[in-house]
């Protein structure tokens, strides 16, 4: 079987797994994908060899460090076969990582399936807007692409072009408060639930614009917040941001749900907090606890040995994402996590070796890497 | 009264130079005491501390070097020094520059590694003051050494009228442009291994990257020979203690490097070989990236603001080009990256 035929077969198998087909288990699929990547990705083959990984257990799959996406191509095929290329924001360092995809159906199906379960509080149509800049074409931001997919899918009225100014409520002048009010009116008029998709820094910008004012949104509104601040604005503690956003919009804090995603991943994790959502019914967890979809597993590992830590201990997240069929099925992040009841508790990014004396830190160096 | 004549400035340096000289002798009481204290605070192995003192502490600078240091240093009513950790011998040059500037010198040592400043002070009583906090006033000068983050913090908290000489983060590189004889290449690599091992690579002069000119020199051979040399060197110059964060950075680097190229174990550290012009800055702790590129000078150019020193092996004309291209970097021979002439700050970048 050719490389692409094998890839197509694995994509289909992952989508079937996500839809509940038990023919192949998570571990079987993860190991099949890892073996496929070892065969067609020289970098991953070297990594497996150096770690003496036999790929017999999921824990044997070495995580590809996120830095590799910034410094090399992480893909099993040539560039000519890419259909989508997502780039990391690169705002804290000059080098931007790229995650390219040949098969987009898997990304779409996995993102929509878990997004629906985490974000939709009812079966009613939703009106979806983004506190984000208008999506570029072709999309280069995985987050923006996902937001556009949610806009079309969650409104339940067939296909339409989501790239319209009234849905993307940030421009050079900042947050479009009037646009948000119009979206709220429209949702009320049409009997829809309003879903606001926002980055954390956009929410801070919105709060700054509002000052002491409130901007009440319909009572059943859901706000999805995601991402860090990446030097774009002043930082606010996540719990404080949640409380202030809820207060400004007149919502309960459970209606502010956090998403965890990365350009290097195909899949996303969510807090299981939205009242009425499928995810909240299945796995109600505390604030800050992220639920994994069945096709993704977070393994906290020791930062030095990269071996899994005992259950309940803090480690850095190695993420096995079956959606990453053609890139890296396991990625190694520097995010500190602990497995708790209901999912994964995010504890922030592991500090790199602190700047001691005058030796150059790696982040400082990366800021100078030519794009 | 601050006497700014050359003779007065030269005379102020003498007690400090003598203090440094007496630390180098491992058989003296001061030498033994210094080694004990520096091993405890620096994290380096006893052999690493001894080697650094013998190799890098400027115990016998030449008169022309001292003259250059004095003449390149502006005078001040009071000279303040903020020292960084890691490269303990750097305290000597930093204090010398301050003494060249003023008779009134106040030194705030690194809180983590105050030993070297204290040892120098003990050997030159009354020459400068050790202080726990900086108290610069308008008209004073401050020579500050450390990370860029620290420099920014210092710059934003200094009173108006204080002149700041900031020496922040940086890295060293080595360039091999022409294939020397096998014997010469072995000597270059042996010298480079020592440059890497000194201070366990934690200084801003420490080499972190080797660039070899493609088609002239085999990067693969350089990487494997360097890995072997570093492993051999570690037997007589063991690596010291690393922090868990440093070890975590090394694990991340090793796997990233493995993905983008090749990695060889080099004692406790690693040598990575970049394929397809892949840049990577290894973490400190005796790790180095070897990169093959058609034009090493052009490949280094984007990093000009960060480059403090560059060891060079190749044609004299190319060495001149390198010097012109990186006016802020010290261009030197292999084995001399960590011991630049005592003619002013090691860091010549315009920050």
φ and ψ at B99, to 5 degrees? -70, -30
User: Which DSSP string do the residues of B135-157 spell out, in sequence order?
Assistant: ---TT-EEEEES-HHHHHHHHHH
Q: CB B262 to CB A46 under 8 A? A: yes
In a shared domain, residues A247 and A111: yes
In a shared domain, residues A289 and A305: no
Beta bridge partners of B102: none
Domain that holds residue A133: 105-294
> Would residue A368 count as lying in a domain?
no
Q: Which of B248, B258, B305 is facing A47, going by the closest CB pair?
A: B258
> What's the rounded mean pLDDT across residues B220-229?
97
Q: Please name the residues between 217 and 246 in chain A that touch chain B, using a CB distance below 8 Å.
A: none
pLDDT in tens, B23-56: 999 999 999 999 999 999 999 999 999 999 999 9
Question: The pTM is what?
Answer: 0.90
Distance in Å, alpha carbon of B288 to nearest chain A alpha carbon: 13
- Best of A300, A327, A332, A360 to mutate (most B CBs within 10 Å, chain B): A360
Distance in Å, alpha carbon of B42 to nearest chain A alpha carbon: 11
> Would residue A95 count as lying in a domain?
no
Long-range pairs, B318-321, Cβ under 8 A, ≥24:
B318/B177, B321/B297
Lowest mean pLDDT among A144-153, A265-274, B249-258, B274-283: B274-283
Q: Is the dihedral of CA B248, B254, B256, B257 positive or negative?
A: positive
Question: Which residues in chain B have Cβ-Cβ distances shorter than 8 Å to A62?
Answer: 255
**Angle, in degrees to the nearest 10, between helices B244-260 and A42-50:** 140
In a shared domain, residues A191 and A141: yes
Q: CB B281 to CB A366 under 8 A? A: yes
Q: Is the ipTM of this complex over 0.95?
A: no
> Would residue A264 count as lying in a domain?
yes
> Would residue A239 count as lying in a domain?
yes
CATH number of the domain within which A143 lies: 3.40.50
Specify the 3-state DSSP secondary structure of B164: strand
Q: Which of B85, B249, B262 is facing A352, going by the closest CB pair?
A: B249
Q: Tell me what pLDDT residue A92 has.
A: 45
Strand order in the sheet with B261-266: B261-266, B269-274, B288-293, B207-213, B171-176, B307-313, B330-332
Tell me, yes or no, if A305 comes closer than 8 A to chain B by beta carbon. yes
Q: Tell me what pLDDT residue B2 has.
A: 57
- CATH T-level fold of B6-167: Aldehyde Dehydrogenase; Chain A, domain 1 (3.40.605)
Q: Where are the alpha helices (DSSP H) in B72-213?
A: 90-101, 115-123, 148-157, 182-197
Q: Please name the residues between 71 and 110 in chain A that touch chain B, using a CB distance below 8 Å.
A: 71-72, 74
> Would residue A41 count as lying in a domain?
yes
Distance in Å, alpha carbon of B229 to nearest chain A alpha carbon: 21
> Do the beta carbons of residue B112 and residue B40 sit within 8 Å?
no
In a shared domain, residues A142 and A271: yes
Question: Which residues in chain B have Cβ-Cβ distances shorter than 8 Å to A369?
Answer: 279, 302
> At which of A274, A294, A314 does a domain end?
A294
In a shared domain, residues A259 and A141: yes
Q: Which of A44, A62, A356 is facing B85, going by the closest CB pair?
A: A356
What's the CA gap between A366 and A17, in Å, rounded?
38
Q: Tell me what pLDDT residue B276 has.
A: 60
Q: Which residue of B lies nearest to A51 if distances are taken between CA atoms?
A: B255
CA A306, chain centre distance (Å): 22
Tell me, yes or no, if A367 comes closer than 8 A to chain B by beta carbon. no
Size of the A and B interface in Cβ pairs below 8 Å: 142
What's the CA gap between A337 and A344, in Å, rounded?
6
- Best of B165, B200, B258 to mutate (most A CBs within 10 Å, chain A): B258
Distance in Å, alpha carbon of A363 to nearest chain B alpha carbon: 9
Residue A304: asked if its preceding bond is cis (omega within 30°), the reply is no
User: Residue A278's closest CA among A262, A294, A260, A298?
Assistant: A294
> What's the rounded mean pLDDT across residues B299-318?
95
> Do the beta carbons of residue A244 and residue A207 sit within 8 Å?
yes
What's the CA gap between A85 and B12, in Å, rounded?
63
Beta bridge partners of B142: B80, B164
Ranges of each domain in chain B: 6-167, 171-332
Strand order in the sheet with B141-145: B129-130, B105-108, B79-82, B141-145, B163-167
Q: Which of B86, B244, B305 is facing A304, going by the closest CB pair?
A: B244
> Would residue A34 count as lying in a domain?
yes
Max CA separation in chain A (angstroms): 63
How many domains are contained in chain A?
Answer: 2
pLDDT in tens, B3-14: 679 999 999 999
> What's the rounded mean pLDDT across residues B125-146?
96
> What's the rounded mean pLDDT across residues B96-103?
98
Lowest mean pLDDT among A180-184, A279-283, B59-63, B94-98: A279-283
Q: Judging by beta carbons within 10 Å of its beta carbon (0-12, 13-18, 19+), is residue A45 exposed, middle or buried?
A: middle
Q: Judging by beta carbons within 10 Å of its beta carbon (0-12, 13-18, 19+), is residue B235 exposed, middle or buried?
A: exposed
Q: Is the dihedral of CA A24, A30, A31, A33 positive or negative?
A: positive
Distance in Å, alpha carbon of B298 to nearest chain A alpha carbon: 12
In a shared domain, residues A252 and A178: yes
pLDDT in tens, A234-264: 667 888 999 999 999 999 999 999 999 999 9
Q: Tell me what pLDDT residue A349 has.
A: 75
Give the strand pairing for B261-266 and B307-313.
Answer: unpaired
pLDDT in tens, B150-207: 999 999 999 999 999 999 999 999 999 987 787 789 999 999 999 999 999 999 999 9
In a shared domain, residues A223 and A310: no
Q: Tell me what pLDDT residue A371 has.
A: 47
> Do the beta carbons of residue A186 and residue A126 sit within 8 Å?
no
Beta bridge partners of A260: A269
pLDDT in tens, B105-122: 999 999 888 999 999 999
Give the strand pairing for A330-340 and A64-65.
Answer: parallel
Give the strand pairing for A269-271 and A256-260.
Answer: antiparallel
Architecture of domain B171-332 in CATH? Answer: 3-Layer(aba) Sandwich (3.40)
Residues of chain A with pLDDT under 70: 90-94, 228-235, 351-357, 362-363, 366-371
Q: Tell me what pLDDT residue A343 has.
A: 94
> Would residue A89 count as lying in a domain?
no
> Would residue A335 count as lying in a domain?
yes
Q: Please name the residues between 306 and 325 in chain A that touch chain B, using a CB distance below 8 Å.
A: 306, 316
Q: CB A358 to CB B279 under 8 A? A: no
């Amino acid at each position: 079987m050719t490389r692409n035929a094998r890839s197509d077969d694995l994509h289909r198998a992952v989508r079937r797994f996500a839809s509940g087909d038990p023919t192949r288990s998570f571990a079987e699929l993860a190991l099949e994908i890892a073996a496929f990547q070892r065969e067609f990705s020289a970098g991953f083959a070297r990594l497996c060899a150096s770690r003496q990984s036999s790929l017999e257990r999921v824990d044997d799959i070495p995580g590809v460090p996120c830095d590799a996406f910034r410094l090399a191509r992480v893909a099993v095929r040539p560039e000519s076969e890419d259909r989508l290329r997502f780039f990391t924001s690169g705002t804290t360092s000059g080098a931007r990582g790229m995650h390219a995809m040949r098969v987009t159906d898997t990304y779409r199906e996995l993102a929509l399936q878990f997004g629906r379960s985490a974000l939709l509080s009812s079966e009613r149509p939703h009106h979806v807007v983004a506190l984000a800049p208008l999506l570029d074409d072709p999309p280069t931001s995985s987050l923006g692409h996902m937001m556009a997919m949610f806009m079309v899918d969650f409104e339940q009225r067939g296909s339409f072009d989501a790239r319209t100014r009234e849905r993307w409520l940030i421009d050079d002048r900042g947050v479009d408060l009037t646009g948000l009010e119009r979206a709220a009116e429209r949702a009320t008029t049409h009997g829809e639930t309003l879903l606001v998709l926002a980055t954390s820094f956009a929410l801070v910008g919105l709060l700054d614009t509002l000052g002491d004012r409130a901007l009440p949104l319909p009572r059943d509104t859901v706000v999805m917040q995601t991402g860090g601040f990446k030097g774009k604005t002043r930082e606010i503690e996540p719990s404080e941001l949640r409380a202030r956003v809820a207060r400004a919009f007149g919502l309960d804090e459970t209606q502010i749900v956090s998403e965890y995603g990365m350009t290097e991943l195909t899949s996303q994790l969510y807090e299981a907090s939205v009242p009425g959502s499928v995810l909240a019914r299945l796995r109600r967890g505390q604030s800050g606890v992220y639920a994994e979809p069945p096709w993704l597993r977070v393994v906290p590992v020791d930062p030095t040995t990269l071996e899994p830590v005992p259950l309940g201990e803090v480690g850095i997240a190695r993420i096995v994402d079956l959606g990453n069929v053609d890139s890296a099925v396991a990625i190694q992040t520097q995010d500190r996590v602990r497995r708790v009841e209901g999912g994964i508790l995010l504890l922030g990014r592991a500090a790199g070796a602190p700047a001691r004396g005058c030796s150059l830190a790696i982040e400082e160096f990366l800021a100078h890497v030519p794009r | 009264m601050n006497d700014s004549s050359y003779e007065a400035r030269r005379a102020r340096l003498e007690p400090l130079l003598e203090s440094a000289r007496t630390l180098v002798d491992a058989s003296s009481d001061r030498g033994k005491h210094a080694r004990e204290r520096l091993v405890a605070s620096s994290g380096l192995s006893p052999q690493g501390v001894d080697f650094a003192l013998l190799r890098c502490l400027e115990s016998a600078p030449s008169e022309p070097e001292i003259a250059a240091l004095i003449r390149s240093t502006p005078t001040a009513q009071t000279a303040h020094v903020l020292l960084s950790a890691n490269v303990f011998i750097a305290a000597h040059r930093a204090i010398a520059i301050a003494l060249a500037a003023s008779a009134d010198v106040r030194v705030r040592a690194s809180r983590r590694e105050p030993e070297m400043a204290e040892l120098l002070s003990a050997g030159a009583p009354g020459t400068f003051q050790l202080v726990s906090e900086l108290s610069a006033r308008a008209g004073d000068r401050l020579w500050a050494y450390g990370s860029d983050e620290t420099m920014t913090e210092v710059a934003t908290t200094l009173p108006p009228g204080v002149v700041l000489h900031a020496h922040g983060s940086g890295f060293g590189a080595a360039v091999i442009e022409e294939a020397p004889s096998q014997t010469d290449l072995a000597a270059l690599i042996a010298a480079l291994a020592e440059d890497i091992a000194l201070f366990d690579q934690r200084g801003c002069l420490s080499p972190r990257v080797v660039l070899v000119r493609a088609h002239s020199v085999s990067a693969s051979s350089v990487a494997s020979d360097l890995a072997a040399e570093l492993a051999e060197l570690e037997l007589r110059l063991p690596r010291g203690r690393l922090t868990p964060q440093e070890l975590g950075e090394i694990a991340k680097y090793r796997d990233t490097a493995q993905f983008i190229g090749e990695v060889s174990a080099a004692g406790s550290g690693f040598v990575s070989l970049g394929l397809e012009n892949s840049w990577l800055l290894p973490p400190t702790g005796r790790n180095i990236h070897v990169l093959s590129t058609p034009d090493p000078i052009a490949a280094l150019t984007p990093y000009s603001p960060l480059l403090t020193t560059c060891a060079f092996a190749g044609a004299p004309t190319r060495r001149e080009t390198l010097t012109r291209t990186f006016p802020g970097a010290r261009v030197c021979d292999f084995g001399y990256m960590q011991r630049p002439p005592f003619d002013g700050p090691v860091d010549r970048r315009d920050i």
